[in-house]
Structure 1
């Protein structure tokens, strides 16, 4: 069983601040396995990316995927997941969820990619 790939992203709609996220899981050859979307409600860009990451990681665990490459286009999210000293009272619950989910995989790589590649 090879590595699977998860791409996630989130978006906030301008002044109304309505947010949503989604992602796609693909196999080793790039073939689509499953996708997901979620309406979040009112939040900011940083939080909505974490929501998408959490949903994607949960989905991959439910599919019993042991080895995962995750790509997100928010470098700040990648950086905070690597920095366990980072703390933010507003986003800590969802950030902690993401960190806990990451620890459930046998092997995982979380990488930044540019928006055009995501």
Structure 2
């Protein structure tokens, strides 16, 4: 049932007093919403990936986490990863790498990556010397991001990244490697 059909049913009720089944109209609206979402994905609306890192100085362990949202801001999936022993900058960059890998594996072609690490975002956007310790990770980010049609890098405040901060800390208690959690919706 097209949107025009919904209006047709409404007008039949208003002007002619003929009632339709409300459940049928609601299902038609839901169907159109699903169709609209599919079209928006095909047109390349960007998904959002928030990432963060966690470093525990008492044991030297590092972890990262991230959350994927669709172009309407709805939860899609999240991840957490125990990385072992790394510096905090390495951890922030690993969060971005894991986010890019998951985006590629799941067919996301346009993404906006948000991180509360201004330094990590600046390292990605600017030329970084090859002899620096983070260069291999930045090179991986560059290679992965070229596999996507569109990647935007955005710095956000730590307060706006609380959910991902919790996921990154959760990664501290996971076995090595990453875990992906999906929406049950």
TM-score tier by shorter-chain length is over 0.9
Flag as ranges the 4+ runs of structure 1 deviating above 6 A: none
Once the two structures are TM-superposed, the CA of residue 18 in structure 1 deviates from its matched residue by 0.7
1:106 equivalenced with 2:144 (yes/no): no
| 2:49 alignment partner in structure 1 | 6
CA distance in structure 2 between the partners assigned to 1:88 and 1:39 by the alignment:
26
CA distance in structure 1 between the partners assigned to 2:118 and 2:94 by the alignment:
15
Higher normalized helix content (fraction of residues):
2
Indicate the SS of the match to 1:12.
strand
Structure 1 unaligned blocks of 5 or more: none
Once the two structures are TM-superposed, the CA of residue 86 in structure 1 deviates from its matched residue by 3.5
Alignment: residue pair count: 118
Higher normalized strand content (fraction of residues):
1
1:70 equivalenced with 2:113 (yes/no): yes
1:24 equivalenced with 2:77 (yes/no): no
Decide which moves more: 25-34 or 79-88: 79-88
Indicate the SS of the match to 1:95.
helix
Task: Give me the CA root mean square deviation.
Answer: 1.2
TM-score (norm 2): 0.61
Query: Could you tell me whether the CA contact under 8 Å between 1:80 and 1:86 is conserved in 2?
Result: no
Q: Deviations over 1:12-50 (max 9, x none)?
A: 012322110010111012111111111011111110011
Query: Could you tell me whether the CA contact under 8 Å between 2:64 and 2:82 is conserved in 1?
Result: yes
Indicate the SS of the match to 2:77.
strand
Indicate the SS of the match to 2:114.
strand
Structure 2 unaligned blocks of 5 or more: 1-40, 162-185
Indicate the SS of the match to 1:15.
coil
Query: Could you tell me whether the CA contact under 8 Å between 2:62 and 2:84 is conserved in 1?
Result: yes
